[in-house]
A and B are shown apart, each in its own frame.
Chain A
Amino acid sequence: MSGDGGGVRVEVRDLTKRFGSVTAVNGLSFTVEPGVVTGFLGPNGAGKTTTMRMILGLVTPTSGTATIGGRPYADLPHPSRTVGAVLDSSSFHPGHVARDHLAVYCRMGGYPLDRVDEVIHQLGIGEFADRRTRGFSTGMRQRLNLATALLGDARVLLLDEPSNGLDPEGIAWLRSFLKGLADQGRTVLVSSHVLSEVEQVVDEVVVVRRGELVASGTMAELSSAATAAVVVRSPDDERLAETLRAESVQGTRATSVERLEAGTIRVEGLTTAQIADLAADHRLRVHELTPERSTLEQVFLRLTSDPRESVR
């Protein structure tokens, strides 16, 4: 079961899930590596939760496989010792105090009851460990969820939207917590529909849209896809746009040229200098050249926005 240095790899291959006529996940493949935090990103309804539930055997795939250390979840000899997971924002009996909730699952996993106190300490939830969960805030619930997932000291952690509903302080805490887990060589997959909440902690990303993979790789790779654009103001905008579309400058050609409004063009794939030179060669006037730096968030939004919707 162990891969590199005791790390456990999660592999999703050609995973498809249809609920009636709705295809929630379509031919999805990706790998989650140990020792890093992988962000599983996409808008709500992109199939993230369904995919995670398929990895954990809670939802049966229509086709394809999901394995953890080479085995399907249900075939793991010690499931809760191998994978810790958080799927629902609240999954506690409201009449249970936090400590009892943990004790139920501690026994179910076959762990010594000392583990309850250990995870209570680890998650810093001692303050409300003896209170009934019905009155818990979102932050308390998320921490109790994490505590439950950590009972088995698992090598793999799958967390569905763990930052949902957390305040900035909670998010900062979660980041360092997840980082710490990955630094111990664990495999950490964290889903989110908001890139900025996990941007600082994830090393790898898997981006999905409408159940299909749209991008995967390191955060650096995703950043490099953040193509710089230049906004050009010119009274000769029409001719300039034609020229930019037709001509190449030092072997590079604009990847996108669009007229925003009369007198303004947005160009991708060329630098300001290249655009100015090209305009001079064709004796076209340029009044202003403004580099537009697209943020990672914009890249994310572009990747995950539905092309059918952006036509509107």
Chain B
Amino acid sequence: MNRLISAEATRLLSSRLWLGALIGALVCGGALIGGLTLLGPENFDPPMPGLDTEEGVRGLLGMLSFTVFVPAALGTLAVTSEYRHRTISFTFLFEPRRWRVLVAKLITFAVAGLCYGAIVAGTAGAALYGGAAARDITLGLPGATVAELLVRVALAMAAFMVIGVGFGALIRNQIAALAAVVGYLYMVELVLLAVPGINAAYPYLPGGATASLTGFTYLADAIAEQTSGSSSTLLSAPLGALVLAGYAIVAAALAVAVPLRRDVT
């Protein structure tokens, strides 16, 4: 397995995908949070609580969870590009036990996802404190809590990169896989939330699990409001992480069961 992981790491680091990922992480982390901090949530339209309040800081950092589609897309691309560029033939020749290739990719991209998440969280944290200092604001949340929230964001980023790998292996076609992963996050889940009954399952949907992992619950609160009282309580953060990992594992298991067995013609 080590040789497969080292091969996947080499594959990732020798294309420019990692450079794109790095830029993505800087934009989605430091640049996003730095910009919003300087702008100030109280100046948003509609205005949000200022950074000197707890809700203000939580809300601002919550913006980070809207960018999980970036690591999800990167993970998806990592697998589907093998089919698109036909390197999959060589890959399966060098390792005919195809599930091992997928496991190596899942492990490699879990690590890559953690690096991505660490950069997002690290630069976001630096930008938050830098911006607050520049505006002479004392943050309404203690440093330890901010750090914990950022670690949870980083874990969510890693989970979505692994989910991307699982769905990429499942769907194989690059465009279809990207459309499915990104489209789900931004459209399908929101539509599902409007369906009575299904929204009760929200804590277990990727969005709900992400909310419980990252601790940003605006969407969950909004649903609870709409469904007037039948508030579906979110899972605990570790359970949310487990549910997200579960999606990645289910997608990967389905990929091993069906598409990976298909003929490579």
Binding site for B on A (CB under 8 A): 49-50, 53, 56-60, 73-74, 76, 79-80, 83, 85, 87-88, 90-97, 100-101, 103-105, 107-110, 148
Q: What A residues does B11 contact at CB under 8 A?
A: 93, 96, 104
The answer on a CB contact under 8 Å between B7 and A107 is: yes
Residue pair A108, B96 in contact (C-beta under 8 Å) = no
User: Could you show 8 A-B contacts with beta carbons less than 8 Å apart?
Assistant: A60-B261, A91-B87, A93-B87, A104-B7, A108-B3, A108-B4, A109-B3, A110-B3
For the complex, is B6 an interface residue (Cβ under 8 Å from A)? yes
Q: Are A109 and B87 in contact (CB under 8 A)?
A: no
Interface readout for B21-37 with A: 1 if CB under 8 Å, 0 if not?
Answer: 00000000000000000
Per DSSP, are chain A's interface residues mostly helix, strand or loop, or mixed? mixed
- A92 near B87 (CB under 8 angstroms)? yes
Known A-B contacts A53-B263, A91-B86, A148-B90; the reply to A103 vs B96 at CB < 8 A is no
Known: A59-B265, A60-B263, A105-B7. A96 touches B15 (CB 8 A): yes
Complex Cα distance, B77 from A228, in Å, reads 59
* Chain B residues closer than 8 Å to A83, beta-carbon distance: 93
- Chain B's closest residue to A148 (CB) is B90
Enumerate chain A residues within 8 angstroms of B16, measured Cβ to Cβ: 95
**Complex formed: what's the CA distance from A103 to B10 in Å?**
7
Q: Mark B54-82, 1 if CB is under 8 A from A, else 0.
A: 00000000000000000000000000010
Residue from A79, A95, A100, A101 within 8 A of B93 (CB atoms)? A79
Q: Tell me the complex Cα distance, A85–B85, Å.
A: 17
* CB–CB A90/B86 < 8 A: yes
Cross-chain contact B87 with A108 (CB below 8 angstroms): no
Query: Which B residues touch A53, using CB under 8 A?
Result: 263-265
Chain A residue numbers with a CB within 8 Å of B7 are 104-105, 107-108
Q: How far is the CB of A158 from chain B (nearest CB, A)?
A: 10
For the complex, is B94 an interface residue (Cβ under 8 Å from A)? yes
Having A80-B94, A104-B10, A108-B95, one finds 14 other A-B pairs with CB under 8 Å, namely A49-B265, A57-B96, A58-B265, A59-B264, A60-B263, A74-B97, A88-B89, A91-B86, A91-B89, A93-B15, A101-B14, A103-B14, A108-B94, A109-B3
Q: Would B96 and A109 count as touching, CB distance under 8 A?
A: no
Q: Which residues on B sit within 8 Å (CB–CB) of A110?
A: 3
The answer to whether B265 and A50 touch across the interface, beta carbons within 8 angstroms, is yes
Contacts of A97 in B (CB 8 A): 14
Shortest C-beta distance, A179 to chain B (Å), equals 24
Pair B92/A58 contact, Cβ less than 8 Å: yes
Which residues of the partner chain B approach A96 to less than 8 Å between Cβ atoms?
A: 11, 14-15
Of the listed residues A49, A80, A107, the one surrounded by the most CB atoms of chain B closer than 10 A to its CB is A107
Whether B91 is near chain A, meaning CB under 8 Å from some CB there, is yes
Option from A76, A93, A104, A148 in Cβ contact (under 8 Å) with B81 = A93
Least Cβ–Cβ distance between B143 and chain A, in angstroms? 40
Cα distance, A92 to B14, chains bound together (Å): 12
CB-nearest residue of chain B to A72: B96
A56 contact set on B, CB distance < 8 A: 93
Separation in Å of the B179 CB from the closest CB of chain A? Answer: 22
Residue of B nearest to A79 (CB): B96
Highest count of chain B CB atoms <10 Å: which of A53, A59, A74, A93: A93
A56, B92: Cα distance in complex, Å: 9
